[in-house]
Every structure is written in C-alpha cells, then in structure tokens.
Amino acid sequence: MSDMTPPPAPAPAAPIGGPSSNAKLIALLGWIFAPLGIIAIFLDDYKNDHFVRSNVIQAAAVWLAIQVIGWVLSVVLIGFLVFIAGYIYLIVMAIQAYNGKEPQVPVVYGMVKSLIDQTN
C-alpha cells in the first residue's frame, strides 16, 4: 500500500454562464439592504456560494463604514453628503452584482477577504 494521500478536492467552480439568478438577486439585495444580506450567508443554499459571500460581506463592510463616517461627520454638517454618496455607491455596486460581476471594493476587499474565503 502506498503512503500517499489523495489530493484535496478542488473548490467548486462557478456554474457555466456565471452565478444563478437567485445568487444575483441575493447579492443585489445584500448591497441595498446590507445588514439583512448577512442572513443569506447563513442559509444552506448560499453559505458556500463564493459570489454571494463576496458581495454580501463587502456590502456589510461598506455599509458599516458609511454609517460610521456619516455619523462622525454629521457633527460638521457634511455627514448628510456622505450618506447620499455612500448610498449611491451601494446602488451602483448592487447593479454590478446583479449583472453577474463580482465587485472588489479596493480597501474593503483586502480587509474582509479572509471572511469571504471561509467556508463551514
């Protein structure tokens, strides 16, 4: 008998043609309603879906950053502009996610990459 162990199974690839329409919809809703989108990655259907995890976790991080920066800057009365610009950005990213693209927010993606790659 040989002492060699079989190689690990390859990670599941994205389906041909990109993510499913349900995954696109969950990603869209995750960008628009970020706190509620986190619930989707705990559902069995989407917990190991890289596309959904990537979009929802980044959306939650961006949403949290918008909230913190907006509330801090509301003291000097420009917080309202941060909220407006932030929500416009979230809508643009939601549209990209619904079109099947996997957006990577420059600073945020690096910070949450380990959470995205985590599978249960």
Convert the pLDDT of each residue in 67-106 to its tens digit: 888 888 877 778 788 888 999 999 999 999 999 888 888 8
Determine the pLDDT at residue 17: 62
pLDDT recorded at residue 42: 84
pLDDT for 88: 93
21-69 per-position pLDDT tens digit: 888 888 898 899 887 788 888 887 777 888 888 899 899 999 999 888 8
User: Can you list the pairs that 20-28 forms with residues at least 24 positions away whose Cβ atoms lie under 8 Å?
Assistant: 23/49, 23/51, 23/52, 24/97, 24/98, 24/99, 24/100, 25/98, 26/52, 26/55, 26/56, 27/51, 27/52, 27/55, 27/56, 27/94, 27/97, 27/98, 28/94, 28/95, 28/97, 28/98
Q: What is the pLDDT of residue 92?
A: 92
pLDDT of residue 72: 84
Quote the percentage of the chain above a pLDDT of 70.
Answer: 84
Domain boundaries, the chain: 21-117
pLDDT score recorded for residue 5: 66
